[in-house]
Structures are given as C-alpha cells and as structure tokens.
C-alpha cells in the first residue's frame, strides 16, 4: 500500500521498492458540502507485481454507533447477530427462537457487532449504486462517498473498515482497483468463499483512474442519510434510456396466456406459483404469487381467465384456512396444505406472516373488483377473508406485534420482531372499509406506528422474504410504504404522509440507479439489458429483480399526488420501464425460456450464477408485471404542473395544456400494437383519495407498432 497525502490539483511522485508512481489529484467544490474528485495513479518506471491501488478516505471520531449504508448491501453496517446456515436459512437453535429475540441475520458481509476486526469488502456491482454513506449520531453529521461501477480495469472494490488505536477510532472508506477482495468473497448465505480476485502486474505506462463524489451534510437523524441519498442516487449515473420493447398490453397478453396454459391446474382449479417443480413453486398464498396473481388476472375480459380465477377462489375457501385462522402457508398437489417450510423440521408449521398479509390485501381488492364487474361472490370467500382479518387482530391484541413467523395451529408468535407484516396495516385499512369494522383501522394504525418506531425510524426493514432470515430487505420496505400511503389517504393524518416520504427514500436505496456495464459475451450483455430500475431483494440474495416483490409501485403514485414531488414518479418510471425487457418473448427468447416467463434475477455481482447470467425459471416477477399493467396508467399527466410520465414502453409528450383539455403526443416505438390508458389529473383530482381499481373502466387508446398520435383528453373524474 502506497500512502500519499492528496492536495487539490497536485502531482506527486511516490517510490516503492520496485517502481515509481506519478499521482495526480483534482478536487472541485461543486457546491456547499459537495466535492468532486479525480485521482489517477500512473506507473512511470519499474514494475509492480500482484498489486492494486486505492483511494482511502479516513473519518476521525468514528463510533460503532454510526449507521453505515451500502445500498442493497449493508444497513447499519449489517451490525447484527449472525448465523452461518446454508440457503434457505432458518433459525435452528432454540435459544435464537422467540417472540422477543434481537434481529438475527444470515452470514453476509457485515461490520463486527463484537470486538475484533470490522470491515466489509464489496464489489461495485454488488450495490444499487457504488456508494458508502454513514450517519454519526454524536456529531449529527453524515456523508456519502459515491463512485462509478468501473474503470479501465473493471469493477471497483468498495470497502469500509473500522480501526482503533489507544486514543481514538477511525472509519476508513476505500475505493480499490483492480478489484481485490483479499481473502473471501460472498456467495449466497456464505461470507467465507475463497476470493477469486487477481491483483494486477503493472508495467510502465499503466494508469488507474478514480472518479468519485463526496457529500457532507448535517444529519440530525438516520433518515437524513436516506433523504440525501435519494437526491444523490443519480450523481454519477444520470438516468438512462430504457429498452422500449413491449407495451404493458403486450406483456399482459403474453403472461396471461402463459398463466392459463402453464400455471393453471385444471384438475383442482388453481393457479400454481410456477411450474410445480417443488412445493414452493406449486402453491404459496402470498409473497411470490398465489392470491396476488389472481388480482391482475381478474381485470381480464377473457372468459377462460375469469372462470379460472373463480375456480381458484372456490378451491381456496374454506380449505386454505389453517386452524390459526390465517391462511395455510403453502401446499402442493392441489390437496396438501402446509403450515410452513417442510424442508426445515423446526419451521414446518411456522407461517411467514407476510404471506397472509399479502393475501388479505389482494383478496379484498379482488372482492371490490368483483363487485365493480358485477361478478358473483361466494359468501364463503368473504367469511374466510374476514376470518384472516380477525386473526391479525387477535395476533396484535395478544402479542402487540405481528412478528415474523407464527404457529399455523395456534396463531401465536414464534419468531418475533421484523417488519414481515408491513403490508398488514394496508390490508386492514381495506378490511375496515369492506367489512365496515373500525377495529381493523385501529389495529392498522397502532401496528404501523410500532413498526415505524421499532424499525423504519432506525433505517431498517426486514423479515419480508421467507428465505433470508431477518436480513434488511426491500420487500417489507415497499410494503411499509404501501401501508403508510393508504393510512394517509384514509385518515389524512399528516404523520402518515411524512412516514411515506421517509419510507420512499429508504426504499430508493434498493433500486438500481445506473446501467451495469455487462461483458459483451455474457447473456445480458448480448441482450443489451439495462439494469436501471431493477430492485434488489435483500442483503442476502444479491441480485436485482424486474419489479417489486410483489407489487406494482402504486404507492409511489399515491405519494406523488399528495406532494407534487416528481422524484417519486421518476423512481416509479425507472422500475416499471425496466420490467418488460426481462420477459421472454417469441421474438426475443431469453435463456431458452418460453414466452411470458420472467426470471427474478438480474445479477451484477458474483454471488451465485455469474454476472449477467441466469438459469431458466418462471417467477413472481411475472405477477409484478401483471400488477403494473393493471394498477398503473400507461401515461400519467399532471395538468396542474404540465408534466407527464410514461410508465409504459410508450413515449409521451405534452403538446398543450388547456383550461379543460390536454393535447398529448404519444408514440409507440415497439414492434407490437399497444392498448393503453392515460390518466390526466388536475389539482382538485390529485387531492382526492385513490379509488380502488380506479383504472378499470377508463377509456383505452390504441397505437399500431411504430405509430404516433396526438390525443386530446380531459382530466379523469
């Protein structure tokens, strides 16, 4: 390691035992608290074998109380108790299991919660933005160090290390090239895989360049760090141009056909999660499909689809309700119901709370939709749904939390804590309206406040995925946003709007803000895949995904309507426009997958299959695409602010905003005809609550492949 003190626009020579280096540095103050930096290392004579160079930034007065953020990699530095358990990890020591145990995560990169060495070595592609940030509670300050994914030597190394001497502690953030993780790299649930990284053998003329930005700011609380990140996530990665390939209507048509021909099990009458290669791909009530998938399918005008959805409801009720009053967790073969993960003896009867929350939320949406469409509702469906809502009330009243896993026989909390039940307040808001029961709303408010106090206010959401213990995750994070947004619209209490803002900023850290530069010879390189807008799952399963697991992102539109802040729709647009390119299509097959399949993995780091590679698989991302197509308009126009956003693979431009109508130029750049909906709102309409199934009866517009039209449209009442 070569040590050199940098000065602005300085050039200095440094000699090692075998070579001489010329180091240039240039620091520019972009604005108050923001420094842009360029540093280069050039070997001018001699040689340097098995080496790497780095820029190190040292922060004095460091404390283990500092909240460290590496977006999608570490939250609070992942400074929690950890257990090394192979995938899919479940707690296996009875001393770790209980309603009031602390957070326990799997074996992921983390700072040390105890004494001893404390560092994380990550590669740039392992984060949604190559960035390290922190909040100091004692100094009331924060910082973000942002760099680029790669230079001429490939992906960069991004490290943080905590050091201590007799008098003080120091935090060190370093950017390294070429990428060298010294001993270990991370693979799924295993942080001690031998590192394959190879240092460079430098020769005269070789040069390594770094570009980075430092943001320093006042930070009275942890949320300040997330708020600053939300603003800065495109600092060195301006928004990219998406691959505009398939409209929402083309995606919906393709995936609907796939669900009817491949997922539906006619002998029992239900839509399987996937291809039924194992029980988790046969039936799960929520999380990855189940009664989430039937909701967007219920928008269809196809009689076969509607018949299948009805059959699915008849199959589920009442047999799909466990003795606890919650839904059975999973199942297979049409008549085998499971209380939990049957692969793990201690979890075979433990139900992931999130799953029943998902199902309750989307089933009530479907009951409302059935009423709108004048479809017959079996009383058993409503009775069973109300029973699940009542089970959540009992759970809250007895335990004062929803927990992470509950006993499918008794309904008691077994693994407590987490925000696994983040969607439950939203579900109870809907239940309060549908069943005319104010008790549901009361529990929704109390539970949402507790999850905010215990987790969100501390910069953490966890427990959403069933396969990642209590690692920080995006899934419960977005679900929390959905709940806060619905609570605000229902109560008009400003605190829920503030919580929504905070949660949106936290959620933004899980969304890829740049296009990863894939190697030309990998699958995604050949397909020119764009990664902006893909959503990382959690700190254990290190991949982006097409879409939110498993939602459309509607809460971001709700939040925009309440705030007029375009940052929320910019984020939503990135997410929605990323999804269609990952759908396998007859004209563009992906990894040999049939049309309509969407694999959940967008790998930009070497955690599993390989960077830019996937194995063929049908996943929940298909349901996310369906939800996006039915819950969001293709184009949203704010007539008050004279702005428009295209969530679809269409290009929209405002021509004129009149007193009563808007002229909009819409182009279909894809090779397929597009049917789409446009929502125009003014100040008065934005102030109203978003109606359930709002878009059902809106007028549809059509464009041929490659066609452009000017459309005149009035605000939608």
pLDDT over 90 at 164, yes or no: no
All residues at 6 or more sequence positions from 207 whose CB lies less than 8 Å from its CB, including other chains: 40, 41, 42, 43, 152
- Neighbouring C-beta atoms of residue 79, cutoff 10 Å: 22
Q: What value does the mean pLDDT take over residues 383-389? A: 99
pLDDT over 90 at 2, yes or no: no
Q: Are 574 and 544 in contact (CB under 8 A)?
A: no
How many angstroms separate the CA atoms of 383 and 364, rounded? 12
Q: What value does the mean pLDDT take over residues 453-477? A: 99
Q: What value does the mean pLDDT take over residues 452-467? A: 99
Copy the structure tokens of residue 79: 């400074």
Per-position b or e across 503-542, b if 16+ CB within 10 A of its CB: bbbbbbbbbbbbbbbbeeeebbbebebbbbbbbbbbbbbb
Q: What's the pLDDT tens digit per position in 608-624?
A: 999 999 999 999 999 99
- Neighbouring C-beta atoms of residue 164, cutoff 10 Å: 12
Q: Are 247 and 649 in contact (CB under 8 A)?
A: yes
Q: What value does the mean pLDDT take over residues 20-30? A: 96
pLDDT over 60 at 476, yes or no: yes
pLDDT over 70 at 566, yes or no: yes
Copy the structure tokens of residue 605: 């780091």
Q: What's the pLDDT tens digit per position in 37-48?
A: 999 999 999 999
Copy the structure tokens of residue 592: 């040999």
Count of all residues that appear for the chain in the document: 717
- Look at residue 4 in the predicted model and tell me its pLDDT: 45
- Reported as a pLDDT band with limits 50, 70 and 90, residue 5 is low
Q: What's the pLDDT tens digit per position in 635-652?
A: 999 999 999 999 999 999
For every residue of 195-232, DSSP letters joined together read: P----EEE-TT-EEEEEEEEEEEE-SSHHHHHHHHHHH
Determine phi and psi for 95, rounding to 5 degrees: -70, -20
Helix (H) or strand (E) holding 385: helix 379-399
- Neighbouring C-beta atoms of residue 153, cutoff 10 Å: 17
pLDDT over 70 at 30, yes or no: yes
- Reported as a pLDDT band with limits 50, 70 and 90, residue 239 is confident
Q: Which domains does the chain have, with CATH numbers?
A: 10-232 (no CATH), 248-632 (1.50.10.10), 645-713 (no CATH)
Helix (H) or strand (E) holding 481: helix 475-491
Q: Are 38 and 26 in contact (CB under 8 A)?
A: yes
- Look at residue 470 in the predicted model and tell me its pLDDT: 99
- Reported as a pLDDT band with limits 50, 70 and 90, residue 414 is very high
How many angstroms separate the CA atoms of 611 and 544, rounded? 11
- Look at residue 165 in the predicted model and tell me its pLDDT: 74
pLDDT over 60 at 67, yes or no: yes
How buried is 477 (Cβ within 10 angstroms: 0-12 exposed, 13-18 middle, 19+ buried)?
buried
Torsion of CA 539, 544, 550, 553, to 10 degrees: 110
Helix (H) or strand (E) holding 380: helix 379-399
Q: Are 79 and 162 in contact (CB under 8 A)?
A: no
How many angstroms separate the CA atoms of 146 and 95, rounded? 40
């Amino acid at each position: 390691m070569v040590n050199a003190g940098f000065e602005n626009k300085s050039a200095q020579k440094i000699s090692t035992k075998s070579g001489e280096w010329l180091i240039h540095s240039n620091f520019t103050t972009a604005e108050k608290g923001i420094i842009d930096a360029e540093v280069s290392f050039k070997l001018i004579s001699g040689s340097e074998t098995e080496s790497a160079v780095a820029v190190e930034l040292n922060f004095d007065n460091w404390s283990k109380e500092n909240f460290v953020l590496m977006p999608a990699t570490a939250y609070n530095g992942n400074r929690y108790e950890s257990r090394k358990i192979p995938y899919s990890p479940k707690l296996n020591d009875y001393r770790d299991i209980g309603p009031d145990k602390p957070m326990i995560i799997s074996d992921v990169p983390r700072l040390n919660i105890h004494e001893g060495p404390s560092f994380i070595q990550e590669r740039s592609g392992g984060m949604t933005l190559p960035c390290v940030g922190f909040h100091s509670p004692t100094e009331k300050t924060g910082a973000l160090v942002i760099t680029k994914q790669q230079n001429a030597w490939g992906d960069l190394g991004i490290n943080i290390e905590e050091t201590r001497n007799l008098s003080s502690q120091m935090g060190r953030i370093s950017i390294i090239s070429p990428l060298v993780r010294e001993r270990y790299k991370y693979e799924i649930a295993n942080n001690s895989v031998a590192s394959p990284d190879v240092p460079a053998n430098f020769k005269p003329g070789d040069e390594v360049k770094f570009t980075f930005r430092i943001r320093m700011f006042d930070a009275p609380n942890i949320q300040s760090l997330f708020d600053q990140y939300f603003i800065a996530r495109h600092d060195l990665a301006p928004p990219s141009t998406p691959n505009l390939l398939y409209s929402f209507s083309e995606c919906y048509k393709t995936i609907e056909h796939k669900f009817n021909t491949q997922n539906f099990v006619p002998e029992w009458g239900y839509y399987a999660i996937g291809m039924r290669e194992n029980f988790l791909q046969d039936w799960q009530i929520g999380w990855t499909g189940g009664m989430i998938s039937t909701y967007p399918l219920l928008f269809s005008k196809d009689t076969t689809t509607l018949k299948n959805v009805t059959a699915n409801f008849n199959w589920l009720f009442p047999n799909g309700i466990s003795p606890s009053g919650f839904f059975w967790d999973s199942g297979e073969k049409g008549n085998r119901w499971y209380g939990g993960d049957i692969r793990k003896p201690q979890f075979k009867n433990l139900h992931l709370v999130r799953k029943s929350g998902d199902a309750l939320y989307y089933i009530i949406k479907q009951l409302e939709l059935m009423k709108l469409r004048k479809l017959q509702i079996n009383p058993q469906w409503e009775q069973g749904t109300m029973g699940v809502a009542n089970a959540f009330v009992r759970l809250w009243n007895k335990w004062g939390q929803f927990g992470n896993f509950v006993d499918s026989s008794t309904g008691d909390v077994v693994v407590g804590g987490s925000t696994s039940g983040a969607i439950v307040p939203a579900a109870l808001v809907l239940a309060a309206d549908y069943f005319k029961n104010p008790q549901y709303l009361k529990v929704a408010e109390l539970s949402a406040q507790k999850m905010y106090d215990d987790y969100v206010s501390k910069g953490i959401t966890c427990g959403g995925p069933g396969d990642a213990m209590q690692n920080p995750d995006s899934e419960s994070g977005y679900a929390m946003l959905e709940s806060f947004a619905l609570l605000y619209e229902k109560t008009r209490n400003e605190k829920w709007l503030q919580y929504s803002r905070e949660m949106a900023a936290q959620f933004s850290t899980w969304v890829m803000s740049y296009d990863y530069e894939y190697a030309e010879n990998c699958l995604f390189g050949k397909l020119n895949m764009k990664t902006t807008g893909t959503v990382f799952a959690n700190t254990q399963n290190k991949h982006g995904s097409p879409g939110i697991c498993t939602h459309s992102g509607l809460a971001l539109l709700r939040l925009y309507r309440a705030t007029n802040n375009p940052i929320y729709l910019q984020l939503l647009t990135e997410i929605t426009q990323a999804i269609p390119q990952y759908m396998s299509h007859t004209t563009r097959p992906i990894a040999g997958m049939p049309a309509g399949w969407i694999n959940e993995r967008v790998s930009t780091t070497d955690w599993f299959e390989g960077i830019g590679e996937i194995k063929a698989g049908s996943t929940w991302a298909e349901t996310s695409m369906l939800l996006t197509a039915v819950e969001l308009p293709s184009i949203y126009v704010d007539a008050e602010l004279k702005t428009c956003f295209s969530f679809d693979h269409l290009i929209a431009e405002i021509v004129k905003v009149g007193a009563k109508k808007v002229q909009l130029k819409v182009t279909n750049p894809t090779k397929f005809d597009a049917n789409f909906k446009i929502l125009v709102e003014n100040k008065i309409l934005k102030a109203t609550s978003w109606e359930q199934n709002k878009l059902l009866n809106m007028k549809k517009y059509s464009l041929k492949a490659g066609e452009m039209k000017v459309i005149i449209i009035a605000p939608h009442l």
